[in-house]
């Protein structure tokens, strides 16, 4: 994560705030100076905090040095050493100047000086007001205030001392406790990391010692409970694995922890990721934060619901048959299904090794891209990831999440024909899709309607039924003596999984796991995958497309336990090509609730950077996502 600059969005209210000060006129705001009393009024209004100092602030024009002192007193900032050519330890306001500089509220001027005696201008007062308000919000860390924090905000708050890693971690844990088994009882979490506070304390000590910090320093992450964690149980959502603690971490966990992330909790999911209902035999049904009677889909439903409810800014899930993108669409969050081979599957319970991938979920495109940066790359334990060598951009995926326009981008639009059932070509989600197409054009992009692939070809290219038993056998054989069962057959015969997972397992038990080489139906599925890849690439080339767009799900979330209709997710999973799913609006349900819907962009293999650029421009140009309304958490 790079050092933040305060964005225009964070100072957008500056002028209006100045005009709220009694006696401060527009004429003054365009030239002249700001008095001590006027700045004090601005700062106390923007933060809601009184100043506790006995210092008297009058009608004299305020200097930059005096402003630093006022801000230090208002925010109760600790003294710090200044680093400017015109400020020595004995200079007036030296400690205050050091404090506001450390907090990144006031900076020097070109040449390395602070210019402490110069009078503050209205423009500077405008910017300072917004910076102080932002810092004040960060420093008031709580289970309520973490709502809406992005990863950049977390990095900013930790770097400037607005909060500690322990304070941040404790606030997120309190939020989980307030919403998951109490209050709305979202049921998105299976296990909270009881060592999270201790790990946060160690990260604080590391930062205080001046040690080099990882790219994900103290970023809280929740992970789907099919991803092995050696410090916590990995239940796979099943009673069968309820107490099983793996002997080693999955590669994605090691990568997150090595970069300073805190694995805050394990999320609920369909048993063994073998369904898309968002219901497990161990954890029960996950509730949709937008409507507690509605499904979140699956199988990464807990990860999606956790991000929607802001249990953490980042989640990791998996996707074999839509399991990242379906719940992302039904809960209004962003996810990226990476190209096959970009992210290691080592240590993750499989559905089908040649179709499985892990991926990030987040509230916006940039945080999802940061998540991808943290977990992508070659892993000797997963030979497929050798495909990614030379394919990952040197400046990282997050650098492509820069908003902007879509000039020169051409998008193919598919409005129907991709779902097994429930396309609803004239339904409210497709209406949102057509509006999204207009929005893309207003941002400079070109949209052309195209037909999707043949439905039979789309369905034939799935290999889950064929590979499941074989791949589960291989995975279990690598998990040591303590693993509860040794084979897929033992797992199946245990019966310790939901009836929804049983629908899949009843088919998969029929396949001889040792006979895939001679299984003609499996070979046809692999051939169909190649044909679908070629068809997709040819369609993109013939039409000059940068991406293909369609709704992730053509219908909004159904009621809990109902089979979700209108799923368009098969194209990405059955080609292995990347896709990103982004909120595109809300549609009213038959019970009056407003439910989210997502647009999905599909691209060529290893063009995640291009998809992120398109999705980020669409997101920033439309600002469609609205977080669900959850009850205020009472202070303890």
Report DSSP state, residue 457. H
Measured distance CA(135)–CA(156) in Å, rounded: 9
**Phi, psi angle pair for 458, to nearest 5°:** -60, -40
- Give a three-class secondary structure readout of 59-72: CCECEHHHHHHHHH
**Residue 479: both structure tokens together:** 């998990």
Cα(581)–Cα(476) distance, integer angstroms: 32
The H or E element that residue 579 is part of is: strand 579-588
Q: What's the helix, strand, coil split of the chain in %, to 5?
A: 40, 15, 45
Confirm if 196 and 289 have CB atoms less than 8 A apart: no
User: Is 84 buried (19+), middle (13-18) or exposed (0-12) by CB count in 10 A?
Assistant: buried
What is residue 159's three-state secondary structure?
helix
As a whole number of angstroms, the distance between CA 301 and CA 305 comes to 6
Name the residue among 512, 530, 509 with its Cα closest to residue 520: 512
Neighbours of 398 (CB within 10 A): 26
**What residues have CB less than 8 Å from 426, skipping those under 6 apart?**
none
Cα→Cα distances 553→291, 566, 583, Å? 17, 5, 11
Torsion (CA) 621, 622, 625, 629 in degrees, nearest 10: 120
- The residues annotated as belonging to the active site are 224, 299, 323
| Residue reference for tokens 């905090």 | 49
Distances (CA, A) of 128 to 20, 30, 593: 15, 16, 40
Query: Residue 285 pairs with which residues in a beta bridge?
Result: 279
CA-atom Rg of the chain in angstroms? 26
Measured distance CA(107)–CA(84) in Å, rounded = 9
SS3 548: strand
Q: How far from chain centre, in Å, is Cα 543?
A: 32
Structure tokens at 245: 């603690």
| Coil vs helix vs strand at 98 | helix
């Amino acid at each position: 994560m790079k050092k933040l600059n305060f964005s225009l969005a964070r100072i957008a209210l500056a002028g209006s705030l100045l005009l709220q000060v009694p006696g401060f006129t527009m004429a003054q705001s365009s030239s002249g100076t700001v008095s001590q009393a006027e700045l004090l009024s601005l700062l106390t209004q923007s933060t809601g905090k009184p100043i506790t100092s006995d210092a008297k602030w009058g009608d004299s024009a305020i200097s930059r040095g005096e402003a630093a002192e006022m801000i230090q007193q208002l925010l109760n900032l600790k003294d710090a050493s200044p680093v400017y050519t015109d400020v020595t330890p004995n200079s007036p306001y030296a400690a205050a100047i050091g404090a506001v500089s450390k907090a990144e509220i006031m900076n020097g001027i070109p040449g390395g000086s602070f210019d402490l005696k110069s009078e503050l201008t209205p423009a500077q007062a405008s910017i300072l007001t917004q910076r102080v308000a932002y810092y004040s919000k960060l420093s008031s860390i709580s289970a309520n205030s973490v709502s809406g924090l992005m990863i950049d905000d977390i990095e900013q708050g930790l770097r400037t001392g607005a909060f500690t890693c322990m304070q941040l971690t404790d606030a997120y844990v309190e939020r989980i406790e307030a919403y998951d088994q109490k209050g709305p009882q979202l049921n998105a979490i299976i296990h909270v990391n009881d060592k999270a506070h201790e790990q946060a304390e160690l990260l604080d000590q590391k930062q205080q010692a001046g040690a080099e910090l990882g790219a994900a320093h103290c970023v809280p992450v929740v992970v789907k409970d099919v991803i092995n964690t050696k410090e916590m149980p990995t239940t796979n959502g099943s009673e069968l694995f309820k107490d099983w603690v793996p002997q080693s971490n999955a590669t994605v966990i090691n990568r997150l922890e090595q970069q300073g992330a805190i694995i805050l909790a394990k999320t609920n999911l369909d048993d063994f990721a073998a369904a898309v209902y968002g219901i497990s035999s161990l954890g029960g049904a996950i509730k949709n934060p937008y409507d507690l009677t509605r499904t979140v889909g699956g199988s990464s439903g807990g990860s999606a619901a956790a991000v929607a409810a802001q249990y953490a800014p980042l989640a990791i899930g998996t996707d074999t048959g839509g399991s990242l993108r379906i719940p992302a669409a039904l809960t209004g969050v962003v996810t990226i299904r990476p190209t096959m081979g970009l992210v290691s599957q080592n240590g993750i319970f499989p559905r089908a090794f040649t179709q499985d991938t892990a991926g990030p979920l987040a509230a916006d495109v940039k945080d999802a891209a940061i998540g991808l940066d943290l977990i992508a790359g070659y892993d000797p334990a997963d030979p497929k990831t050798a495909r990614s060598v030379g394919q990952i951009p040197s400046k990282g995926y997050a650098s492509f999440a820069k908003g902007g326009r879509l000039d020169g981008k051409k998008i193919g639009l598919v409005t129907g024909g991709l779902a097994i059932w429930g396309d609803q070509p004239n339904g409210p989600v497709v209406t949102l899709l057509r509006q999204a197409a207009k929005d893309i054009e207003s941002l400079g992009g070109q949209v052309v309607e195209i037909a999707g692939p043949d439905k039979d070809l789309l369905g034939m290219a799935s290999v889950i039924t064929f590979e499941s038993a074989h791949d589960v056998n291989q995975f279990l054989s690598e998990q040591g003596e303590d693993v509860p069962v040794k084979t897929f057959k033992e797992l199946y015969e245990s019966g310790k999984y939901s009836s929804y997972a049983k629908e899949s397992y009843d088919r998969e038990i029929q396949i001889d796991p040792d006979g895939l080489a001679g299984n003609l139906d499996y070979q046809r599925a692999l051939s169909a995958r190649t044909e679908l890849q070629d068809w997709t690439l040819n369609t993109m080339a013939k039409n000059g497309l940068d991406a293909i767009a369609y709704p992730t799900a053509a219908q909004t979330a159904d009621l809990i336990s109902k089979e979700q209709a209108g799923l368009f997710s098969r194209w990405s999973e059955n080609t292995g090509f990347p896709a990103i799913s982004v909120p595109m609006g809300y549609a009213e349900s038959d019970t009056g609730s407003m439910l989210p819907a997502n647009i999905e962009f599909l691209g060529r293999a290893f063009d995640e950077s291009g998809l992120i650029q398109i999705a980020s421009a669409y997101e920033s140009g439309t600002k469609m996502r609205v977080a669900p309304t959850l009850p205020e958490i009472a202070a303890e």
